[in-house]
Amino acid sequence: MSMSKYAATTAPSSTSAPAPPPDATAPAPRHWLRAGWVMTASGWSANQFSALLGAYRSDLGLTTADTTALFGIYVLGLIPGLLLGGPLADRRGRRPVVFLALGSSALATCLLMIGPSASAFLWPGRFLTGIGAGALLAAGSAWIKELSSPPYGAAPNPGVAARRSGLFLSAGFATGGLAASLIAQWAPHPMVTAYVPHLILSAVAALCAARAPESSPAHSGAESAAPASVAPDERRAPAREFRRMVAPVAPWVFIAPAVAFATLPGLVDGDLKGWETVYAGVITAVTPGAGIIVAPFARSLAARHRVATGAIGLAAVALGLLVSALAAAQAQPVIALLASVVLGAGYGLCVAYGLTEVAALAPPHQLARLTSYFWTMAYLGFLAPYVITLFTGVFSPPAILVGAAVLAVVTLTAVTVRAEN
C-alpha cells in the first residue's frame, strides 16, 4: 500500500457531516475528553486484579496455576466482548454499548469483592470483567477517534485520536494496579476495599460520557452510503493491510505488560516477604507508566516512516524480555523493575502504532469493528503467562523468555520487510 493511498484513507468522505463554521474565539469542544474516562475505567478494571495476584496466593491459598488461570479467563471474556461490542457499536451507536459495558464491568467488580468469602465468584467475576472491558475498548476507542475529528473535534490526523485512546487506557492500567496494591497492603478487608475505587470511577465515567454526543455514522447519517458505493477490492483493502501490517504486531501489545504483571513478580519476589503486593502494584504502575511517557515520541517516529513506531516498539519488547530473563535467572526484583520499564515502553509504542493504523485504514462505518479486531488480537497476548506456565515443565523461565524475545525479533523483521515491499 503506497503512502499516498495510505494517506487517502484518512480523508473524510464527501458524505461526511459538515464541520461547524470556524470560530476563532471559541476553543474546539473536548467531547473526546468526556468519553475518554470509559477507557480509563476499562484499564482500571483489568489491572486492579493483577496487582492482587500475590495476595490471593498468600491469603486465600490459591496456587500459581489458579491465579494464572484467573488472569487468563479475563481474555476469554474479553474476546467475545470485543467481537460483539465492535459490530454492535457500529450498528446501534457508541453510547448504548459503552453504558451497557460500564454496568457489566461494575457488576464484575462486585463479584470479585465476594471472592474472599466464596472464591468461586472470582471466576465469573473475571470473565465478566473481560466482557465489559472488551466492549468498552471497541466502542470507546471508536468514540474517542470520532469525537476527536471534525465535526466534533479538531484533531489533525488519526494518530492524535489513537494516542488519546492509548493514553486514557494506560492511565487506567497504571493507577488501577497501584491503587489496588496500596489499599490491599494497609486497608482493612483488603480484597474487598481494593475494588471500591473502580466502582467510583465507573460512576464518574458514566456521568462524563453522558455529556458526550453520539458520533456513530449509522446514527448521524454520515457515510451511510459508503458500503454500497465502495468497490469490492477497495472494501477488502483495509482488511488485507490489517492482516499484513497490524495483526502481527497486535499480540505483542499485551504480551509485554502481561509478562511484567503476572510472570515477573512471582519469579523474583522470594525475598520480599510481606511486600509482594506492593511490589506487584509498583510494577503494574511502572509498566503502563512507561507507555505513557513514550507516547509523545510515537508521532515523530510515525512521521519518519509508517512502521517506525511499531518497529521500535517491537525492539523494546524484545529487549525487555531479555532483561526479564536476566531478572528471572538471578531472582532480582530491581532488574525485574527495569525490565518492566522497557516492556512498558514497547507496549506504549506498539499500541500507538496499532491504533493509528486502524484509524487510518478503517472506513467510518467499520471503525469499531476493525478496532475490535485489533484489541482482540492484542489481548491474546494476555495468555502469555499461561503459556509460560505450561512450558515451565520443559524449559526454565529464563529460557522461555529468551525464546519469546527471539519471536519478537522475527515479528519485527517480518513487518519491516513487508513495509519495504
pLDDT tens for each residue of 30-58: 889 999 999 999 999 988 997 788 788 88
Say if residues 228 and 15 touch (Cβ distance below 8 Å).
no
* pTM of the predicted structure, to 2 decimals: 0.80
**Dihedral of CA 152/157/158/163: which sign?**
negative
Cα–Cα distance for residue pair 284/328, rounded to 1 Å: 17
**Average pLDDT over the chain, rounded to an integer:** 85
pLDDT tens for each residue of 274-286: 788 888 889 989 9
Mean pLDDT check: name the lowest of 2-11, 341-350, 360-369.
Answer: 2-11
Mean pLDDT confidence for 235-256: 87
Cα–Cα distance for residue pair 255/385, rounded to 1 Å: 8
User: Residue 24 above 50 pLDDT?
Assistant: no
Cα–Cα distance for residue pair 361/364, rounded to 1 Å: 9
Share of residues in the chain with pLDDT > 90 (%): 51
Say if residues 278 and 255 touch (Cβ distance below 8 Å).
no
Question: How much is the pLDDT for 218?
Answer: 67
First to last CA, the chain: 9
Q: Does 20 reside within a domain? A: no
pLDDT tens for each residue of 377-416: 998 998 899 899 889 889 999 999 999 999 999 999 999 9
Cα–Cα distance for residue pair 289/334, rounded to 1 Å: 17
Mean pLDDT confidence for 96-120: 95
Looking at the chain, how many residues does it have?
A: 421
- Tell me the three state secondary structure of residue 230: coil
Q: Does 24 reside within a domain? A: no
Q: Please give the C-alpha separations between residue 260 and each of 334, 335, 412, in angstroms, as whole numbers.
A: 13, 11, 20
User: Cell numbers at residue 260, please?
Assistant: 511484567
User: Residue 270 above 80 pLDDT?
Assistant: no
Cα 167 vs. chain centroid, distance in angstroms?
10
Say if residues 104 and 84 touch (Cβ distance below 8 Å).
no
Cα 365 vs. chain centroid, distance in angstroms?
22
Question: How much is the pLDDT for 212?
Answer: 92
pLDDT tens for each residue of 60-82: 888 878 888 887 898 889 889 99
User: Cell numbers at residue 90, please?
Assistant: 457500529
- Give the count of beta carbons closer than 10 Å to the beta carbon of residue 281: 29
Q: Does 226 reside within a domain? A: no
Q: Does 312 reside within a domain? A: yes
pLDDT tens for each residue of 300-316: 887 788 899 999 999 99
Question: How much is the pLDDT for 221?
Answer: 52
Say if residues 101 and 409 touch (Cβ distance below 8 Å).
no
Q: Does 245 reside within a domain? A: yes
222 CB-side CA count, 13 A? 23
Smallest CA-to-CA distance from 379 within 70, 121, 81, 40 is with 81
Number of domains in the chain: 1
Question: How much is the pLDDT for 28?
Answer: 53
Q: Please give the C-alpha separations between residue 103 and each of 38, 86, 216, in angstroms, as whole numbers.
A: 11, 17, 21
Cα–Cα distance for residue pair 349/157, rounded to 1 Å: 17
Cα–Cα distance for residue pair 359/411, rounded to 1 Å: 22
Q: Please give the C-alpha separations between residue 375 and each of 15, 78, 246, 381, in angstroms, as whole numbers.
A: 28, 9, 11, 10
User: Cell numbers at residue 92, please?
Assistant: 446501534
Question: How much is the pLDDT for 266?
Answer: 86
- The residue range of the domain holding 90 is 31-219+232-420
pLDDT tens for each residue of 189-201: 989 999 999 999 9
Mean pLDDT confidence for 331-345: 96
Helices (H), 275-396: 276-304, 308-330, 333-361, 367-379, 384-391
Q: Does 109 reside within a domain? A: yes
CATH of the domain at 309: 1.20.1250.20
